[in-house]
A and B are shown apart, each in its own frame.
Chain A
Amino acid sequence: MAKQTDLLQGTLDMLILKTLALGPMHGWGISQRIQQVSQDVLVINQGSLYPALYRLEQQALIKSEWDKSDNNRQAKYYELTRKGRKQLTEETESWERLSAAVDRILQTT
């Protein structure tokens, strides 16, 4: 496994929102997806994931629904709301601005 990086809370929120933008998913699935796509660089600590999900739900950025999963178990599926979609766009923009700025600084010699 590649070196695992700690994630700031705000960034985790953004990643969750992005993952859900691709379609509704349950908690475990979200953590797996993030891990996969980041190629194991980012491993989500369960202790941060679920609190983050509950917080996002309270802020009405995502909503949840119980449904049958593929192995026929009851699982709680999360889905992005319109407010969440808007939030995601904003967060993505500010992340890009931030990382571009950091890049520029790192590149100056």
Chain B
Amino acid sequence: MFGKISDALRSLFRKDNLERDMNQELRFHVEMETRRNIERGMTPAEARFHALRDFGGVEKFKEECRDVRGGRLIESLLQDARYGARILLRNPGFTLVAVLTLALGIGANTAIFSVIYGVLMRPLPYKEGNQLVIVHQQAPLAHVNDTFFSVKEVMDYREQSQTLDAVVEHHTMSFTLLGGSEPQRVQTGVVSANFFDVLGVTPVLGRTFLPNDDDKGSDAVLVLSYKYWKESHGGDPNIVGRVFQMNNSPHTVIGVLPPIPQYPVEEDIYMPTSHCPTRASEQFMANRNARMMSVFGRLKPGVPVAQAQADLSVIASNLAKQYPDSYPANRGYAAVVAPLQEELTRRARPTLLVLLGTSGLVLLIACANVANLTLARLMRREREMAIRSALGAGRGRLVRQLLTESTMVSLAGGALGLLLAAGGLRLLVTFAARFTTRSEEIRIDGLVLLFTVLVSVVTGLVFGLVPVFSSDRNLNNSLKEGGGRTSASVSRQRTRNLLTVAQVAVSFMLLIGAGLMLRSLIKLQSVSPGFDPEKVLAMRVSPNWSKYNTTDQTRLMLQRLLDKVRSEPGVQSAALSSTYPLNQLGIVNGPFNRGFQIEGHPIPEGELAPQADFRSASPGYFETIRLPLVKGRTFEDIDNEKAPPVAVINQSTARHRWNDEDPIGRKVSFDSGKTWTTVVGIVGDVKQYGLDREPSDEIYIPLAQSGFANNLLVRTQADPMNIASLMREAVYQVDPETAIDRVQTLDHVREDAVASPRLTAILLAMFAALALVITAAGIAGVMALSVSQRTHELGVRLALGASPSRVLGMVMRQGMYYVLAGLSIGVAGALLLGRLMSALLFSVEPSDPITFLAVSAVLVAVAAVACFVPALRVTSIDPMLALRSE
């Protein structure tokens, strides 16, 4: 078989050579024959004549020889292509419209596919990434799905696991890096020394950690992430070996990572566990309940995840038995393992799949349009086809010609679509970055190109075949004139109408999808966050904590900071707190729960203590963000470390824990009854974790009594960002080694909270609008064609006395009939498929009647216009002319 193909290719490329060979061989034969004839006694002329005659028709069997040679197929395909190109260029209108329509459809699919491939399908850029897993601890009875690990727990799992090759830990800290141009807050990943070995990551500069880098007492070393290295150190090639001060000791940079996605968060730098002050403290390492780390592992070769799961569950139950105090039975305890690739993509999956479905539908609509256009054009080529058929072209050959043309159109559309997708790629990457750290892996590469080509070819075949299947070739009728009334064209009309119905139905479904998303977005944006984000500046301040050895020193410094800031001009009020509502960090890291005990309500045996989010706030916090006070009072300066402990709770907590009783004056304890804190106030609920999430129970205690807070909030009179640099200066004046980052207005934070659904809604709306435009164009085209084909019939009606408006009405009614048919199918389809979208919707039902009504109205209106404009031609039909024409 390969011989045949190579021969065919050779024939193609060395055609001239082979032709020459063949000619020479045949010439030789004729000469020999001539010579023999001369020997037999003929004259040279006679001899040659006889020789040639005996030979037979030279061309005919040259053809046969060529046929045997093969290479015919490719030649005739090229011939088809050349012919098709001529035809397409002669009809620029059709070609342009078809190519553009397909470009939009195929381009959309290419774009979405590149995102899906990069995020969902591409194997992780780690060595044998499918063997990497992440381990979670759970307290299922307390509804805790993901608890960190303590040092002892990591060691237990590492030592006892039989299915995991390596177990590594990871946690994120925020440290201040000194030695650059200004003190810099760096997000630091603190990891086991073999972390990068387990991931199989090779550095682009220097090295990663060696096994003894996390031994106690080893030298402090750092590995930089690629992005951080590029952005904060300008990609300095000599960065390896530089020393920075961190946590009061020198740290040497030993390497830079390649640009890979990082999980769970993008870090700036990495350090070994031995040099994280918290992690390395004896106290922390000895406490089984001091939990801070995430755990990753690599499966042993050939071990399925299910086996690892069983293995870890055994370890978990053993630990629970061994240390019942750490794993109280009333909370439950389990260990869960999941492939890393799944974790990285979980959040993005539903949205991306919805988008894929959407773009697929858009392509179908585009195909239907182009099929309609092709059908219309085909009518004019009937005579050409009939003649070719009469001259001996088989049906297969004619079909091949049509398919070649349609594939050429779709490939051209695909190429243009690829350009469009490449142009919109940035937008898509930004979009995906909200859901996954893999967004950087989205690119247009070989596989995406292949996908585009494949989709283009299939599209071309699909809409090329539609006309073929929609009519039967009746040669006689085609050759006769007046072909507009043959049975072939009637069935073509039926196909066109069916396509229109399908287009309307699909457009409707897309519009519903977009409409639901938009309504969902509007509802989300109008949710009251519970506070007033206008004109408030937030920034994270991180002094060099190692300078302040006691809580007192910290407290003093923070107070000085507040005083300084409050004295600045333009500041209406200022406060410090451990977090603020809708803080993105809070959303990523999750709630900071603490159990507490209510005086007079001892926790029964086996039951869970009441949980609440724990916050610390300076006086002025609630006023600065305008969190309303419902009852009692907020914090004041007298609530300092020497005063009795007080707390403020939110309405949610009051409702859940005290029902109708008044919580003011009641006491709670955070340390099982050793000390008691009095509730002095109730404030309103805020949407802490997202506008679409319910508020959680919250308890605030004064900064002076907790000793720690690192978010500065400032309410200003003018635009908050204007005074940002002023605030920076003020902070530096208090302590120049303070790192300041995450500077943003609370308005921006609130906008951020709806950014994802907004982007999704925008994308869906764009697709739906596209679909509507394409469908409208399709309807208009079909209507125009139908009117021009029925000129004769309509002329008769007009001649017989019907008024133009009546005829117009009839034509429009007939057109709208199909639109309404499509609408009904679309409604049914949307009701069925709407459920697939419910994960993305906020407080909107997939069968929301308002959306359905609105979309129906829009669709009918647009379709009516699309029908009306071409139908208007009916009124300008001159009956006399129409009767005379065919």
Q: Which residues of A contact B (CB under 8 A)?
A: 26-29, 45-47, 50-51, 54-55, 58-60, 69, 71, 73-76
- Residues of B within 8 Å of A47, CB to CB, are 56-57, 60-61, 64
Among residues of A, the one whose C-beta sits closest to the C-beta of B63 is A51
- Say whether B29 contacts A28, CB under 8 Å: yes
Contacts A55-B68, A58-B70 given; indicate if A27 touches B25 (C-beta within 8 A): yes
- Expressed in whole angstroms, the minimum distance between the Cβ of B11 and any Cβ of chain A is 10
Contacts A74-B24, A75-B25 given; indicate if A58 touches B54 (C-beta within 8 A): no
A29 to B35, CA, bound (A): 13
- Say whether B28 contacts A60, CB under 8 Å: no
A73 to B4, CA, bound (A): 30
- Say whether B4 contacts A46, CB under 8 Å: no
A51 to B56, CA, bound (A): 13
A74 to B21, CA, bound (A): 10
- Say whether B21 contacts A50, CB under 8 Å: no
- Say whether A76 contacts B60, CB under 8 Å: no
A51 to B26, CA, bound (A): 12
A16 to B29, CA, bound (A): 16
A27 to B32, CA, bound (A): 10
Instruction: Please tell me the number of chain B residues within 8 Å of chain A, measured between CB atoms.
Output: 25
- Residues of B within 8 Å of A28, CB to CB, are 28-29, 32-33
- Residues of A within 8 Å of B65, CB to CB, are 50-51, 54
- Expressed in whole angstroms, the minimum distance between the Cβ of B537 and any Cβ of chain A is 82
- Residues of A within 8 Å of B55, CB to CB, are 46
In B503-538, the 8 Å CB interface with A consists of none
- Say whether B61 contacts A46, CB under 8 Å: yes
- Say whether B56 contacts A60, CB under 8 Å: no
Query: Is B69 located at the chain interface by the 8 A CB criterion?
Result: yes
- Expressed in whole angstroms, the minimum distance between the Cβ of A100 and any Cβ of chain B is 32
- Say whether A54 contacts B69, CB under 8 Å: yes
Chain B interface SS verdict (over half):
helix
A12 to B251, CA, bound (A): 88
- Expressed in whole angstroms, the minimum distance between the Cβ of B534 and any Cβ of chain A is 83
- Expressed in whole angstroms, the minimum distance between the Cβ of B451 and any Cβ of chain A is 36
Query: Is B7 located at the chain interface by the 8 A CB criterion?
Result: yes
Among residues of B, the one whose C-beta sits closest to the C-beta of A74 is B24
Best-surrounded residue of A54, A58, A71, A75 (most CB of chain B within 10 A):
A54
Return the contact of B68 from the options A58, A69, A75 (Cβ within 8 A): A58
- Residues of B within 8 Å of A74, CB to CB, are 24, 28
- Residues of A within 8 Å of B61, CB to CB, are 46-47, 50-51
A26 to B64, CA, bound (A): 19
The 9 closest A-B pairs by CB, nearest first: A28-B32, A47-B61, A28-B29, A76-B25, A54-B68, A75-B28, A51-B64, A55-B68, A47-B56
A54 to B11, CA, bound (A): 12
Among residues of A, the one whose C-beta sits closest to the C-beta of B33 is A28
- Expressed in whole angstroms, the minimum distance between the Cβ of A43 and any Cβ of chain B is 9
- Expressed in whole angstroms, the minimum distance between the Cβ of A103 and any Cβ of chain B is 34
Query: Is B604 located at the chain interface by the 8 A CB criterion?
Result: no
- Expressed in whole angstroms, the minimum distance between the Cβ of A65 and any Cβ of chain B is 12
- Say whether A76 contacts B68, CB under 8 Å: no
- Residues of B within 8 Å of A75, CB to CB, are 25, 28
A54 to B18, CA, bound (A): 12
Query: Is B268 located at the chain interface by the 8 A CB criterion?
Result: no
Query: Is B747 located at the chain interface by the 8 A CB criterion?
Result: no
- Residues of A within 8 Å of B28, CB to CB, are 26-28, 69, 73-76
B284-297 to A contact mask, C-beta < 8 Å, 1/0: 00000000000000
- Residues of B within 8 Å of A54, CB to CB, are 65, 68-69
- Say whether A58 contacts B25, CB under 8 Å: no
- Expressed in whole angstroms, the minimum distance between the Cβ of A55 and any Cβ of chain B is 5
A46 to B67, CA, bound (A): 16
- Say whether B25 contacts A50, CB under 8 Å: yes
- Say whether B68 contacts A46, CB under 8 Å: no
Query: Is B3 located at the chain interface by the 8 A CB criterion?
Result: yes
Query: Is B440 located at the chain interface by the 8 A CB criterion?
Result: no
- Residues of A within 8 Å of B67, CB to CB, are 51
Return the contact of B54 from the options A46, A73, A76 (Cβ within 8 A): A46
- Expressed in whole angstroms, the minimum distance between the Cβ of A12 and any Cβ of chain B is 13
Contacts A46-B54, A58-B69 given; indicate if A27 touches B60 (C-beta within 8 A): no
- Residues of A within 8 Å of B57, CB to CB, are 47
In B657-692, the 8 Å CB interface with A consists of none
Query: Is B31 located at the chain interface by the 8 A CB criterion?
Result: yes
In B27-85, the 8 Å CB interface with A consists of 28-29, 31-33, 35, 54-57, 60-61, 64-65, 67-70
Among residues of B, the one whose C-beta sits closest to the C-beta of A46 is B55
Best-surrounded residue of A27, A45, A46, A55 (most CB of chain B within 10 A):
A46
Among residues of A, the one whose C-beta sits closest to the C-beta of B4 is A58
A76 to B18, CA, bound (A): 12
A29 to B36, CA, bound (A): 12
A55 to B28, CA, bound (A): 20
- Residues of A within 8 Å of B54, CB to CB, are 46
- Expressed in whole angstroms, the minimum distance between the Cβ of B251 and any Cβ of chain A is 71
A98 to B61, CA, bound (A): 31
B2-25 to A contact mask, C-beta < 8 Å, 1/0: 011001000000000000010011
Among residues of B, the one whose C-beta sits closest to the C-beta of A50 is B65
Contacts A46-B56, A51-B64 given; indicate if A73 touches B69 (C-beta within 8 A): no
- Expressed in whole angstroms, the minimum distance between the Cβ of B232 and any Cβ of chain A is 67
- Expressed in whole angstroms, the minimum distance between the Cβ of B380 and any Cβ of chain A is 41
